Amino acid sequence: MKKLFLILMIISVGQLFAQEPFKRTMKLMGSRFDITVVAKDPVEGDEYIDLAINEIKRIENLMSSWNPDSQTSEINRNAGIKPVKVDAELLNLIQRGIGISKLTDGAFDISYASMDKIWKFDGSMTTMPKDAMVKASVSKVGYHNIILDKDKHTVFLKLTGMKIGFGAIGKGYAADKAKELLISKGVVAGIINASGDMNTWGKQPDGKEWKVAITNPMDKNKVFALLPITNGAVVTSGNYEKYVNINDVRYTHIIDPRSGYPATGIISVTVFAPKAELADALATSVFVMGIEVGLNRIEQLPQVECIIIDDKGNITASKNIEINTIE
Ligand code: ADP
Ligand code: MG
């Protein structure tokens, strides 16, 4: 009898502390998000996931250039006209974006947005745009012309027709912020996966590390590698989702702001970093910088690693990476 009581005690105490992963998939920021949280029951799991969703929606409202009511749209509308007062959060994000531009010699540039009119990655484009048009589009691009006033909290785009956009760091930033919020609410472990931009914390309930699957860029339905990841971010930028084929050359949706032409040669870049925002920005940058320069820059950054796959299927990784590829 005593023994049975003890067993029952153990079971109920076990249940009290039992933690399980709960996952939900939804569309946010125009992309697929998979949010996983470790919680004690589905009700708690749902509450946590709702918190993360609200945080991501809040960020989307602040920085989407599609939404005419966002502060970003307000900045773009006033390009060449006047500085616009914005939240400190947006100002800081823009400042960090400019920091990445400096680090990458302008390969990364949030003012790339005016080039978007030339290149369409939805299948509607069949011929190369005229060289003169491409050149003209770059004339509005340049992080030097984004003027921040930290005291007045304003952002001014100097040139008329200039635009900024967070296509290359927004999802990473949202993943970081959702993670930060959930940690502050006591969530012990989870994964925020924004279409391959992911940030994890803690471990799986069985004590094992979370594993991330990296898509095989040669066949997007296959996994190329499974890597363990603890408390950090991993982001993959690939040209297998958004691209255009013209005269048998595949052009990705990542554009070199200095030439106006899409990057070619690389088909997938995976970056590991403490934060998804940095990893996201760097993954995009490496596409533009190419293998040699890209790898060189990555190796100079502490706690940052990368894996690059080129269009011949060659894999290049930074020094500390060990890959166990899946056959
Ligand atoms: P994905 O959204 O597929 O994960 P990225 O994070 O690499 O890919 O972001 C690509 C997006 O970033 C493009 O769709 C565009 O909005 C924007 N972009 C393209 N080229 C650049 C660039 N050189 N610098 C900054 N942003 C860019
Ligand atoms: Mg990116």
pTM as predicted: 0.89
Q: For 10-69, how does the pLDDT look when each residue is reduced to its tens digit (9 = 90+)? A: 444 444 567 999 999 999 999 999 999 999 999 999 999 999 999 999 999 999 988 999
- pLDDT-derived band at 222, boundaries 50, 70, 90: confident
* Angle between the N-to-C axes of helices 276-299 and 170-184, in degrees from 0 to 180, rounded to the nearest 10: 120
Task: Tell me the CB-side half-sphere exposure of residue 82, using CA atoms within 13 A.
Answer: 5
**Does residue 241's CB lie within 6 angstroms of at least one atom of ligand 1?**
yes
Half-sphere exposure of 286 (CA within 13 A, CB side): 35
Higher pLDDT: 241 or 191? It is 191
The reply to whether ligand 1 has any atom less than 6 angstroms from the CB of 260 is: no
- The encoded tokens of residue 118 equal 């030339």
pLDDT in tens, 239-264: 777 778 888 887 888 999 999 999 88
For residue range 274-313, list pLDDT tens digits in order: 999 999 999 999 999 999 999 999 999 999 999 999 989 8
> Is the distance from the beta carbon of residue 56 to the nearest atom of ligand 1 less than 6 Å?
no
Q: Domains, the chain, ranges and CATH?
A: 6-61+177-317 (3.10.520.10), 71-157 (1.10.3980.10)
**Cα distance between residue 110 and residue 169, in whole Å:** 9
- Quick: pLDDT tens for 272-284: 999 999 999 999 9
Q: Which residue has the higher pLDDT, 147 or 238?
A: 147
Q: Is 69 helix (H, G, I), strand (E, B) or coil?
A: coil
Instruction: Check pocket membership of 37 for ligand 1, CB cut-off 6 A.
Output: no
Nearest ligand 1 atom to alpha carbon 97: 25
Residue of 64, 138, 197, 254 with the most ligand 1 atoms within 8 Å of its CB, for mutation = 254
How many angstroms separate the CA atoms of 129 and 241, rounded?
A: 21
Please report the beta strands in the chain, taking only residues with DSSP state E, as ranges in sequence order. Answer: 20-28, 31-39, 84-85, 146-149, 154-157, 190-194, 197-201, 210-216, 219-229, 233-238, 243-246, 249-252, 266-273, 305-310, 315-317
Residue with CA closest to ligand 1 atom 26: 168
275 C-alpha vs ligand 2 centroid, how far in Å? 12
Q: Ligand 2 is a single-atom ion; what residues have CB below 5 A from it?
A: 168, 237, 280, 283-284
- Using a pLDDT cut of 70, give the percent of the chain over it: 93
